[in-house]
Structure 1
């Protein structure tokens, strides 16, 4: 797609070597990091909007979206096992599609993580409002940004451990919530009125497809936001211990678990509380137990969703920082972003992300009520664009392997090529729906402007700089004197 020379893939980090990122993430860290990034605000807070849009049929939307995400992750996994590098899919796009594709993918992913983190810090301030309704939201956001930045600056191992425990807390809470919800449904705990909770709530109040067919389709713009961030597994490849073993295990287990958590949890929620009473003013998890009079449980769950938000932001800043580091290695971002601390942390990228998140403070002061759902739509657009580039990079890699008769992949995607092309078609459909749905149309325009800015930046800034760099390398190369025997 590009006449320019392909950007070479950066070599993988060496364990313990100075000046490179360290392989300090174990299989346990990576598996829970992906869960931490994808099971967060989209489930605990954004699910309210999805339920309001589609009604109980949102469960089918999560199943379809989850299947597409699984294909994206398998495509990413095949590339990550073949090339376990820092910057991951940004560098894959450069290698297999072209330099601009890598530039677009890397910066759009960074934008995605920034926007998702904005949504997470916004949700965090809403959760804190459950306990402290008189405190301004921006105060909580400011405090959280400083805390997360400090954690990410210590070392990747400390980050991985903290993320493991954060993710474990919310996973245990979700399992407990599912079990407790089933007990409420079966035994009528908290509400003894006839038919107060049960399977009938999924089919009453307007029917299973209460939002209509268009409502069902529109829900995908919110559903896909919920899965955003799971691609951080690919980012970890450059810092994972034994990535060829760890990455496949994480990819095969995480999407299935996430799908089960979303479908089971939201199914239980809508069986306990009629879907048309979930108004989105607070997490449906909290509203259920609060409404049933279990105020103690509501406070515990609020603490859990706060932990979930912190976990997701933690993973967001990690992913964006590592992607910026990979972009800088390719000459697609300022060289200063390659700077590392003695513990192998790209410190400037962490500082840059924390500084950018201060925008969330301003936005929550100016637009305290509307900001979350516009941010969610922007995040959905950025997410699906990144996933589309991952799928196209993978398709190009598979074609190159077949054309050049290269060694087969150690972790190939299933149902190739039909499932891969089906996933591409689904991602394009979601992008179209972002433009069709009135509430998310602005996000599509902002996204298109973002891509236009990237195209101009690449053409006028990055491309000329790369050309000059290659010319300088050619002119400074040592001159080889040809011996008479070769003349």
Structure 2
């Protein structure tokens, strides 16, 4: 375990790093693609994937508790399987985040065109890279604090969307006082709209959407009192991710017929607009940029 790392990350920051790394653009803009594969049964896909993630994270938590090293799962693969396994784990993880990071940096320029249509996409990309580099170079405490507040923005948005959705479903909020009810879960072709084939196709995408939760392990080398804070983060973050993912998807497939979602754009925008938030598109666009 390195003695050169400053252990400045707190439990709340560690949890938000994991939540922020997992809950991202895919939920805000990409949910309709998995729903198109399997319809309302996508709920079951998120729950099933969540069960596997829970056991994986519990296992990772046990390892990190014993060896709170910043190398995390790559070091564990190296020490307990083979150095080749450690190399493949580390290199594939780096490749994954380089690709994801670059794609999202490019996406920022696209989203900013919502307000400035003539803005060249490379300008905001450069700005984002510089800002993120400075945040990482400054201190791990600053990075953790920035991650905490940026993650809080999208989590608050999801919670508000869930509350608004329940208002639509059970009280008819924004629907003339007529509750939408739960019938969209089994109408329009049933719960498994494309059979088990569509369900398993969607399941593979759903598993990928949980990528990022493993970042808890990477934070171990820079966390205050890692045995206590990592344990607390592991026990809390999986349930929170399930609530946010499953809760948000439940609202989406219940409020709207699954086969109409492709025409709505972002289901989040549509849900907020339905309850009278006329600037919903601008709000969600801002949230997606922070995501």
Is the CA contact (8 Å cut-off) linking 2:175 and 2:274 kept in structure 1? Answer: no
Secondary structure of the equivalent of 1:43?
helix
Please state how far the C-alpha of 1:281 moved relative to its aligned partner. Answer: 7.9
Question: Given the superposition, is the C-alpha separation of residues 175 and 142 from structure 1 closer, same or farther in structure 2, using an over 3 Å criterion?
Answer: same
Question: Given the superposition, is the C-alpha separation of residues 228 and 119 from structure 1 closer, same or farther in structure 2, using an over 3 Å criterion?
Answer: farther
Distance 1:301 1:130 in 2: 11
Larger radius of gyration: 1
Secondary structure of the equivalent of 1:21?
coil
**1:28 and 2:17 matched:** no
Distance 1:49 1:305 in 2: 17
Secondary structure of the equivalent of 2:262?
coil
Q: In the TM superposition, what whole-angstrom CA distance separates every residue of 1:102-152 from its partner, at most 9, and x where no partner exists?
A: 100000111121223244335444533443445454443333222222211
Please state how far the C-alpha of 1:202 moved relative to its aligned partner. Answer: 1.7
Q: Which runs of 5+ in 2 are unaligned?
A: none
Please state how far the C-alpha of 1:50 moved relative to its aligned partner. Answer: 0.9
Q: In the TM superposition, what whole-angstrom CA distance separates every residue of 1:51-87 from its partner, at most 9, and x where no partner exists?
A: 1111111000000111111111111111111111121
Q: How does 1:285-296 map to 2 (within 5 A)?
A: 285-290=268-273, 294-296=277-279
Secondary structure of the equivalent of 1:86?
coil
Please state how far the C-alpha of 1:43 moved relative to its aligned partner. Answer: 1.4
**1:61 and 2:45 matched:** yes
Distance 1:284 1:142 in 2: 30
Is the CA contact (8 Å cut-off) linking 1:50 and 1:58 kept in structure 2? Answer: yes
Please state how far the C-alpha of 1:191 moved relative to its aligned partner. Answer: 3.1
Question: What corresponds to 2:156 in structure 1?
Answer: 172
Question: What corresponds to 1:371 in structure 2?
Answer: none
Partner of residue 141 from structure 1, selected from 125, 133, 144: 125
Q: In the TM superposition, what whole-angstrom CA distance separates every residue of 1:311-360 from its partner, at most 9, and x where no partner exists?
A: xxxxxxxxxxxxxxxxxxxxxxxxxxxxxxxxxxxxxxxxxxxxxxxxxx
Distance 1:273 1:147 in 2: 38
TM-score by length of 2: 0.92
Question: What corresponds to 2:218 in structure 1?
Answer: 235
Question: Given the superposition, is the C-alpha separation of residues 231 and 280 from structure 1 closer, same or farther in structure 2, using an over 3 Å criterion?
Answer: farther
Question: What corresponds to 1:163 in structure 2?
Answer: 147
Partner of residue 301 from structure 1, selected from 262, 273, 284: 284
Question: What corresponds to 1:77 in structure 2?
Answer: 61
TM-score by length of 1: 0.56
Distance 1:139 1:256 in 2: 38
Please state how far the C-alpha of 1:291 moved relative to its aligned partner. Answer: 6.0
Is the CA contact (8 Å cut-off) linking 2:161 and 2:272 kept in structure 1? Answer: no
Distance 1:186 1:133 in 2: 39
Number of aligned residue pairs: 291
Distance 1:210 1:78 in 2: 39
Higher relative contact order (CA 8 A, sep 6+): 2
Distance 2:69 2:88 in 1: 18
Q: In the TM superposition, what whole-angstrom CA distance separates every residue of 1:285-316 from its partner, at most 9, and x where no partner exists?
A: 12333466632233223322222x2xxxxxxx
Q: How does 1:411-422 map to 2 (within 5 A)?
A: none
Question: What corresponds to 1:13 in structure 2?
Answer: 2
Q: In the TM superposition, what whole-angstrom CA distance separates every residue of 1:360-393 from its partner, at most 9, and x where no partner exists?
A: xxxxxxxxxxxxxxxxxxxxxxxxxxxxxxxxxx
Partner of residue 70 from structure 2, selected from 77, 82, 86: 86
Q: CA RMSD in A?
A: 2.1
Distance 2:114 2:55 in 1: 38
Secondary structure of the equivalent of 1:219?
helix
Is the CA contact (8 Å cut-off) linking 1:13 and 1:23 kept in structure 2? Answer: no
Q: How does 1:259-408 map to 2 (within 5 A)?
A: 259-279=242-262, 282-290=265-273, 294-307=277-290, 309=291
Q: Which runs of 5+ in 1 are unaligned?
A: 1-11, 15-19, 310-487
Distance 1:194 1:206 in 2: 23
Is the CA contact (8 Å cut-off) linking 1:59 and 1:263 kept in structure 2? Answer: yes
Question: Given the superposition, is the C-alpha separation of residues 204 and 132 from structure 1 closer, same or farther in structure 2, using an over 3 Å criterion?
Answer: farther
Is the CA contact (8 Å cut-off) linking 1:289 and 1:297 kept in structure 2? Answer: yes
Distance 1:198 1:133 in 2: 39
Is the CA contact (8 Å cut-off) linking 2:164 and 2:272 kept in structure 1? Answer: no
Distance 2:263 2:107 in 1: 11
**1:212 and 2:195 matched:** yes
Please state how far the C-alpha of 1:13 moved relative to its aligned partner. Answer: 3.0
**1:254 and 2:243 matched:** no
Question: What corresponds to 1:245 in structure 2?
Answer: 228
Question: Given the superposition, is the C-alpha separation of residues 254 and 237 from structure 1 closer, same or farther in structure 2, using an over 3 Å criterion?
Answer: same
